[in-house]
Structure 1
Amino acid sequence: MTAGKTEIDTLVVGAGQAGVAISEHLSKLGVPHLVLERNRIAERWRTGRWDSLVANGPAWHDRFPGLEFDDLSPDGFAPKERVADYFEAYAKKFNAPVRTGVEVKSVVRNVGRPGFTIETSEGVIEANRVVAATGPFQTPVIPPIAPKDDSLTQIHSADYRNPQQLPDGAVLVVGAGSSGVQIADELQRAGKQVYLSVGAHDRPPRAYRNRDFCWWLGVLGEWDQVNVKAGREHVTIAVSGAHGGRTVDFRGLAHRGMTLVGLTRSFNNGVASFQADLSENLARGDENYLSLLNAADAYIERNGLDLPLEPEARTTFPDPECVTQPILELDLAKAGITSIIWATGFAVDYSWLKVGAFDANGKPQHQRGVSSEPGVYFLGLPWQSRRGSSFIWGVWHDAKHVADHIATQRKYLAYRDTAQRQAEDGETAKVSHKPLVSA
């Protein structure tokens, strides 16, 4: 794309997994479209995560239907670079119209005529529809409680790469979802003294009775849940594909030398304060873990499956001292802590999308990705249509729904235009059959 003005039916912003997915569906439906990506395809998989990251789901599960990871075991976990290569290969597979290195600066609705005007780093685009496929991981969030202390190295998990990046000394990792627990584990394995702040979380088994938890959530119908349970909107999931995939066990980490603390509350004069909720958070995580084991056992019995018993899955470590005698205050200097890693999630940034598609809190208003603003669509959001929307395969299915909606809208417009042409043809016919009148 060169400087100037381009016209396209549908513009897709973002060429990560969501953008590639909807491009495939739009291509199959014959919808003219263009995908813009300010960096490279699936760039966040390459440079927006730590070096050792692997996919949290096995290769047979975390993929699109049209292409397998042919160089990996189906039960293996793809390294982040391999995932990025996968999406590039997938885009090439159907010749996706992707333009990289182009930043979308603003999208505004046209006045008095259909569609939108899009300002980009390489010119102006006119489009009838816009799909925001930028996903949920846009702006790293470090909470305002972060201490104003230049002696501490503080980074978000999005900027963490490897243990060598940090100075000597102990590390406080705040947040125990998938990112936080994997980073804390890696730092401990590298010889760091690690303090891990654990909040509310779900803790599924990595695998149980010879089936990965992704399989269990599938056959039990959990991926198809359409409503978030009350009070569970922001609960993280502690799961990992690292080291071949192992169940996250916080007590096990503590028995290896990691110090667990509750939810981080505040910092004051070099002292960190924590909620007295560590034991409760671990208990709720255990409850989530055991509930899945129980559901799996019942499913096996109900269907007469021949899957091996796994009684050791219910064996737990005893509560370590950091749980029985929780630390509520910690002097960072005395503990030797020189770094804090904030594994505290991300916020969306739709400042470029200047349309009425958001509520008072800036949250997208949509139904399964179809925005309240006609012609605007969202893709790649958590719980966009169901629990599985956060996974690669879930994005693909959500994209199909959005693409089908776009194709249907095009048919409505085509019908209107056809009717108008028929009327015009009728008028032309009347003129052509008008009797000649001699002077």
Structure 2
Amino acid sequence: MSVARSGLGAVSLNGKIYAMGGYDGSGFAIGLNLVEEYDPATDKWTTKTPMKVSRYELGVTSLNGKIYAIGGYNGSVLNLVEEYDPATDKWTTKQPMSVPRCGVGVASLNGKIYAMGGHNGNSSRLNLVEEYDPATDKWTTKAPMSVPMDGVGATSLNGKIYAIGSGINSVQEYDPTTDKWTTKKPMSTSRFNMGVASLNGKVYAIGGCNGSSFLNSVEEYDLATDKRTIKTPMSTARRCPGIATLNDEIYVIGGQDCDGSENLLNTMEKYTLPPIPMVALTATSTDAKVNLSWNSVEGATTYNIKRSETAGGPYTQIGNVTTNVYTDTNVTNGKTYYYVVTAVTGTSESANSNEAAATLAASSIPTNPKQMGNRAILEIKMINGEIQEYDLSSSGLSSFLTWYNDRSGGAAKAYYIMDKNYNVKPFLSRQLYIPFDKIMEYEVKSYNN
């Protein structure tokens, strides 16, 4: 950045990172109104229109294409809210919070902004939580945190908000749908004035101070497993940095690397998550369908299935699932198909898996079932392992085989209706609907009666 500073706010929007406010060590801690924009493509900072009010220890978040600067301190504690529009490079004053506070945690979720905790200039931390609706420009008081916090690190993830307390090693989870807070397992390291970010299903607590020394440590909280893991530390210990996430990377901006205004930082570090492991894919073919399966990837939320009729691609995505199995029924007997699968975690996608090929045998459905006998036992094995048996006449078997063959080419209904002629009463009829894509295979056992 052009100016070394701590206590700044940072956020990403539209492929850029914005750093605003902060304290540069000059004056009587009145703070800055400086706003800078960082473009990762050019690795350059550009000065933008400053905020209307100088401040540091403010909360910053983005929502609906706008950036919001909330609260902070400039010689007195502030309740002011400003909205920045990058498209016009202009700031607009919005409705203030009900209570002035600095060190406030801010996060956006489901079209609303939440301000939690902080300090109002008196002797105690706050547990106050307010919700801001940009559509109405109004603040609403919500359920307070169970633990008062100052210098709150806050982030939203998977429909919840997470607040990590400064110096008290408390992790609180807020559910907006129930307006309730839940205390979670604390981080392994107690810290204050740290940065907090969420990325790909994980929450990260970064840097800060533990009361005796400044920290460069990074701790990862995995919501799925409720585990805390120490990650690669920053190259520079720092407290009060700005934190922003962009393109599956965490940017740590500015801060202070030890006591004293002469040790303010204008440097930035970038933490890149390790690549998502590749998927190991297998493919097996049966009549008119290909069954795919692969290993589950830790942290993956969905999987993309891609197919080509040429070895090596190019591939076209044909499905997206949350499990590690997929059945492709949009295939033709006698053809070969080539598949790859990718794992998706947050906004990241793994590299393609190994290519798995499946060749479907040409259709062997008999054209004249009567030559096989005047009756047959049709045994259908479903993909869940269930086996269904039907004693059919030659015409009933021919009807099923014709439907199956037509459906294999996409020219019949997605299900076959099997009439049950036993135990009908008190009903007028009994019919079983058999979905094509649930059939793994079938066997015909013909006989004469």
Q: Name the structure with the higher strand share.
A: 2
Bin of the TM-score, shorter chain as denominator length: under 0.3
Q: Name the structure with the higher helix share.
A: 1
- Normalising by structure 1, we get a TM-score of 0.23
- Normalising by structure 2, we get a TM-score of 0.23
